[in-house]
Amino acid sequence: MSAITVSRVLREPEKVSAELRSRILKIIEEMDYVPDQAARALASRHNSTFGVLVASLTNRAFLGFMQGVEERVRDTSFRIQYANTHNCIEEEKRQVRLLLSQNTAGIVLGGMEGREAVSQLLQRAACPVVQVVDVGLETAGTAIALNHIEAAAAATRHLLACGYRRIAILGGSPDERSRRRIEGFSRVMQEAGLFELALIQYENAATSTQMGCRLLRRALKAVPDIDAVFCQNDDIALGVLFEAQRMGKRVPEDLGICGYNDLDFASVMEPPLTTIRTPLFEMGYRSADLMIRAASGKRMERQTIDLGFELIERKTTRRIPA
């Protein structure tokens, strides 16, 4: 068994037969061999590590994205290095510079705040870069995208179609995604002649179930006759449901609730949550797939891949008789 074959198993396992790969990996495990990643990076054009930058590691929505990344990278020779940018442009720039200095195999940029600030860094990058953005934003290269304006507009139109009229939007961390969802909500409400600035209620903090409780009470204090809320995340929607139940409000009769992302608990809430389903897992999977293909020598096209969204109608909204 040659050293070249062993090296290929460690660096490009897909090029070695399953039987031979299994034999070599068993020997490596028995020897407790630990590869020298620094030496590997010197001998290669990259260090076999993908940098994945996300806006918040505590946001449940990003967990689905990261699960998609992990699933695609599993059973390859690549590894993942996560970084939390905290929705901070300067931190995003710092993390990008750090990854580039490490001869990284590629960068997946999950935040949108520093898109323009890091564009020059990304354009000069010697590694492939995939950005996760809104479809309306220009990027330095390849992008996995979602139309946040249209998704929010679809949620708002659904609430209006149900017969709700005093609709508030609740959210936190007013980043680029949030601003675009507010834009979609505001546009539809203005077209319906129902928009009021007081219907927009936000906290400048990471979203949480507790935030949903607080924001519902704040919204009702500002506009007492609110009959529906569009929540920018499902965790906020869960808090709204809990708080509405404490206040004796019936859902969906007295208060309609629509969430965003369709997280795992949305379908098992009582009542189950109407929400916007975003393809979080697929976004992560496709981002990692593009990275792997590019790092393996395939040319990466400059393109924006819109993965779309879906309105999932459940029982926190219902059609109100005219």
136 falls in which pLDDT band (50, 70, 90)? confident
- Of 31-45, 61-75, 78-92, 141-155, give the lowest mean pLDDT range: 31-45
Show the tokens assigned to 201.
């209620």
**DSSP reduced 3-state for 25:** helix
92 falls in which pLDDT band (50, 70, 90)? confident
Tell me phi and psi for residue 209, to 5 degrees: -65, -40
Dist CA 233 CA 250 (whole Å): 21
pTM of the complete model: 0.82
pLDDT at 43: 44
Show the tokens assigned to 28.
């490596």
pLDDT tens, residue by residue, 264-297: 999 999 999 999 999 999 999 999 999 998 887 8
pLDDT at 266: 97
Dist CA 107 CA 89 (whole Å): 16
Rounded to 10°, the helix 209-222/234-246 angle is: 60
Helix (H) or strand (E) holding 83: strand 79-84
Q: Please report, rounded to a whole number, the percentage of residues in the chain having pLDDT higher than 70.
A: 85
Q: Sheet holding 256-261: strands in order across?
A: 200-203, 167-172, 228-231, 256-261, 274-277, 310-312
